[in-house]
Amino acid sequence: MTKHWGLISAFMALTLFGCEQKATQSAASTDAAASQDAFQKQLQTQLLDAKPGDIISIPAGIYAFDRSLSLNVDGVTIKGAGHDKTILSFKNQIAGAEGLLVTASDFTIENLAIEDAKGDALKITEGKNIIVRGVRTEWTNGPDTKNGAYGIYPVQTQNVLIEDSIAIGASDAGIYVGQSKNIIMRRNHAEQNVAGIEVENSINADVYDNVAINNTGGILVFNLPNLEQRGEQTRVYNNLVESNNLKNFAPKGSIVSSVPAGTGIIINANDKVEIFDNIIKDNKTSNIVISSYFSIGSMNESGIKPSFDPYPEGIFIHGNTFEGGGQSPAPLELKALRIAMFGLTGRLPDILWDGYANPALLTDGQLPADKRLCVDNGEVQMLNADGPNGYKAPNMDQSAYACTLPALPPVEL
């Protein structure tokens, strides 16, 4: 994506439809700063005064803000003229942990861009029935540790649809749904983020028809400890997950800083995940990684609730098309392992498992049927990296994964 957004609009207008309110302001001013200030105040006032059913339309133009915008009225729609036409820029932001913060239900935002927020671009929290459509969140200077963490970030939400949106340059995840229920993420494009698309501690998510390209990790399905809601039941299908080989630029200590560059799809400590019918190619560490929380590197006794289950369970991989990848894993242990097992010119298999399974559940070395890791994907193979034993005895025995699991039900919003 390149920037081609033309001139700063000297003519700023904002129209509020719905109810009987109709406020239009036009300010053609030679004093751009005063004009920006006026628009900032105008738009924030519209957000404060909004009533359920209102549509706030922002015409084409580049609008600069120095503080966060926020909305906490239910039932509001914010609309732009297109993600390349209506641009909310936070490049000169001095305060606020996000560009736009929404704490409301029945919220729709579409066809605009949020650029260069200091923290998160669009955070939506504690709401139901959320639609994000045709929104672009971007850090325009490209990948940088100083970029904001999340692009599109609903957290503790229910019934969430994110579609036809674009996320570029997030120093954590481009599109990140956390601690939520009933989610559809489709036809989005995530590029040059540490994590392209991430589902975290969420229940019932469908991730399909997306493109995740040139991120550090393409699509992540994670469970993190200490939270009230444990996530499960995610379907990842019909996506193109390609060349996610970007050097990891997340701040150390953040969870995604542990994702190796070159990871296509990664499941961490999550359960009931079905990965099928994707095209997954040229991810140089591994096209798919299945891992436990142990591999994040933060496991300890005094800071993690004992109730946390760090193991990925009930994972089913089938019908995907793989191409390339695994030829140049980022982590040192995997580099050595690749050469030792597959030779100087060899590649890691398409699926890499860190090898951690809950010992309390094993019977004759096997997990119960509904908790197994199953691969039904032609010739595709999984490597058990033997993490619990310090990667000493990795093995390619495929018999343990020769199983299927029932298909997960589709998400209905």
Binding site for other proteins (CB under 8 A): 40-41, 44-45, 47-48, 66-68, 70-72, 93-97, 101, 103, 118-120, 125-126, 145-146, 148-150, 153, 155-156, 171-172, 176, 178-179, 200, 224-228, 251-255, 257, 296-298, 300-306, 308
Of 214, 225, 226, 300, nearest to 268 by C-alpha is 225
Minimum Å gap between C-beta 256 and other proteins is: 9
Please, which residue, 126 or 277, has the CB nearer to other proteins?
126
Of 5, 14, 74, nearest to 38 by C-alpha is 14
| Coil, strand or helix at 337 | helix
Minimum Å gap between C-beta 148 and other proteins is: 6
- Rounded Cα–Cα distance for residues 248 and 405 (Å): 33
Minimum Å gap between C-beta 295 and other proteins is: 13
- Rounded Cα–Cα distance for residues 243 and 348 (Å): 15
Please, which residue, 40 or 381, has the CB nearer to other proteins?
40
Minimum Å gap between C-beta 337 and other proteins is: 25
Torsion of CA 282, 287, 293, 296, to 10 degrees: -10
Contact 318, 404 (CB under 8 A): yes
Minimum Å gap between C-beta 345 and other proteins is: 36
Q: Phi and psi at residue 94, in whole multiples of 5°?
A: -110, -15
Of 92, 214, 94, nearest to 142 by C-alpha is 214
Q: How far is CA 111 from the centre of its chain?
A: 19
Torsion of CA 149, 152, 158, 159, to 10 degrees: -160
Minimum Å gap between C-beta 202 and other proteins is: 12
Minimum Å gap between C-beta 372 and other proteins is: 28
AA identity, residue 86: T
Contact 389, 354 (CB under 8 A): no
Please, which residue, 217 or 349, has the CB nearer to other proteins?
217
Task: Name residues whose C-beta falls within 8 Å of residue 229's C-beta, 6 or more positions apart in sequence.
Answer: 179, 201, 202, 203
Please, which residue, 85 or 123, has the CB nearer to other proteins?
123
Minimum Å gap between C-beta 307 and other proteins is: 9
How many helices and strands, by DSSP H and E, does the chain display? 2, 32
Please, which residue, 3 or 146, has the CB nearer to other proteins?
146
Contact 134, 83 (CB under 8 A): yes
Please, which residue, 115 or 282, has the CB nearer to other proteins?
115
Contact 172, 137 (CB under 8 A): no
Minimum Å gap between C-beta 251 and other proteins is: 5
Please, which residue, 257 or 377, has the CB nearer to other proteins?
257
- Rounded Cα–Cα distance for residues 216 and 209 (Å): 19
Please, which residue, 55 or 97, has the CB nearer to other proteins?
97
Please, which residue, 308 or 342, has the CB nearer to other proteins?
308
